[in-house]
């Protein structure tokens, strides 16, 4: 007998079952009942560009109702903490404070303060948020004779900027990357991220960068420290396996992948790193958290 052609539904089910067995609803509730704190990515989880994703306001209402500690941790280095607080307020989410936000820019500034004295000369490829944070941390932003080149997402990147960064690194400047994300989700689709710029500068300079953001430990340790949370009682929510999920699992943090950002069924099935939970989006995640009460 000829087997039936696989349908889209059976293909999705097969993809979800590749790797570790998906927990039953009862087991899922048991695991989520242990969660006392949440670390959540933003781009691809809460929104795409300026477009909020379904369940945004309900997600925060759920965390506030459950008195659950949370940190929003993003590899996007272009904005300040207050930029994100203001964006959330514009989207109808109130009650979020700057202390709830960790970015690759704030993590980079913290890292540099442990390695370099105030007044260290830095050339920045990046947005206004990164520049403001580094300035507030006591570093001097310069165009020439820099001791360090710090590279994040730069939506105004030019050949001349890339040329200057390359020459500074070839002249002995240290090379720091805020995060390795090669792309990030925009309303139109995936667009180049900081990792794409890092790849350009590395290819031209012959020098690999020191990476600060996810999946490196610093971002997660900063978030856990802010939450004063046990990794085993913390859930990382992200849309990217190679950074959000991989980095969190390395520290023993439970992980939830939402399928509203970078990953799709094919990339999930192919990845050797598997999340503890997979949700189509925030509404399904919210329901699972409520079911765990």
Q: Which residues contact 286 (CB under 8 A, 6 or more apart)?
A: 55, 58, 59, 62
Round the CA-based radius of gyration of the chain to a whole number and report it. Answer: 20
Pairing state of beta strands 254-258 and 234-238? parallel
Give the C-alpha separation, 117 to 146, whole Å.
14
Compute the distance between CA of residue 126 and CA of residue 132 in angstroms, rounded to an integer: 10
- Round to the nearest angstrom and report the end-to-end CA distance of the chain: 47
**How confident is the model at residue 8, as a pLDDT?**
41
Q: How many CB atoms lie within 10 A of CB 211?
A: 20
253 contacts 221 by C-beta, under 8 angstroms: no
Q: Which of 179, 241, 190 is nearest to 214 (CA)?
A: 179
Question: How would you write the pLDDT of the chain (293 residues) with one tens digit per residue?
Answer: 444 444 444 334 333 434 445 677 788 888 899 999 999 999 999 999 889 999 999 999 999 999 999 999 999 998 999 999 999 999 999 999 999 999 999 999 999 999 999 999 999 999 999 999 999 999 999 999 999 999 999 999 999 999 999 999 999 999 999 999 999 888 888 899 999 999 999 999 999 999 999 999 989 998 999 999 999 999 999 999 999 999 999 999 999 999 999 999 999 999 999 999 999 999 999 999 999 88
Catalytic positions are 41, 43
Question: What 3-state DSSP class applies to 257?
Answer: strand
How far apart CA 24 and CA 99 sit, in angstroms, is 35
Structural domains in the chain, CATH included, are 27-75+215-291 (3.40.50.1000), 117-211 (3.40.50.1000)
Residue 258 · residue 237 · CB < 8 Å: yes
Distance CA 69, CA 96 (A): 11
pTM, two decimals, is 0.82
Residue 169, classed as helix, strand or coil, is helix
pLDDT of residue 15: 36
What is the predicted pLDDT for the residue at 287? 94
């Amino acid at each position: 007998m000829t087997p039936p052609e696989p349908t889209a539904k059976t293909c999705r089910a097969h993809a979800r079952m590749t790797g570790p067995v998906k927990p039953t609803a009862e087991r899922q509730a048991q695991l989520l009942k242990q969660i006392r704190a949440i670390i959540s990515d933003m781009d691809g989880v809460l929104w795409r560009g300026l477009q909020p994703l379904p369940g945004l306001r309900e997600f925060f209402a759920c965390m506030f109702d459950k008195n659950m500690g949370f940190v929003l941790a993003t590899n996007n280095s272009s904005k300040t903490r207050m930029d994100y607080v203001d964006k959330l307020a514009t989207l109808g989410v109130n009650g979020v404070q700057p202390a709830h936000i960790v970015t690759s820019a704030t993590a980079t500034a913290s890292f540099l303060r442990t390695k370099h004295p105030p007044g260290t000369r830095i050339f920045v490829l990046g947005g206004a948020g990164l520049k403001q944070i580094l300035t507030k941390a006591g570093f001097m932003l310069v165009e020439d004779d820099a001791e360090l080149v710090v590279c994040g997402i730069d939506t105004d990147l030019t050949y001349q900027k890339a040329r200057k960064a390359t020459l500074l690194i070839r002249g002995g400047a240290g090379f720091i990357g805020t995060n390795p994300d090669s792309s990030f989700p925009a309303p139109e689709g995936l667009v180049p991220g900081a990792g794409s710029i890092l790849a350009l500068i590395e290819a031209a300079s012959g020098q690999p960068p020191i990476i600060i953001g996810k999946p490196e430990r610093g971002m997660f340790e900063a978030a856990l420290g802010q939450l004063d949370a046990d990794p085993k009682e913390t859930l990382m929510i992200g849309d990217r396996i190679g950074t959000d999920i991989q980095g969190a699992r390395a520290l023993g943090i439970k992980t939830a992948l939402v399928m509203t950002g970078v990953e799709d069924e094919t990339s999930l099935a192919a990845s050797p790193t598997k999340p503890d939970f997979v949700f189509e989006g925030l509404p399904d995640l919210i329901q699972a958290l409520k079911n765990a009460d």
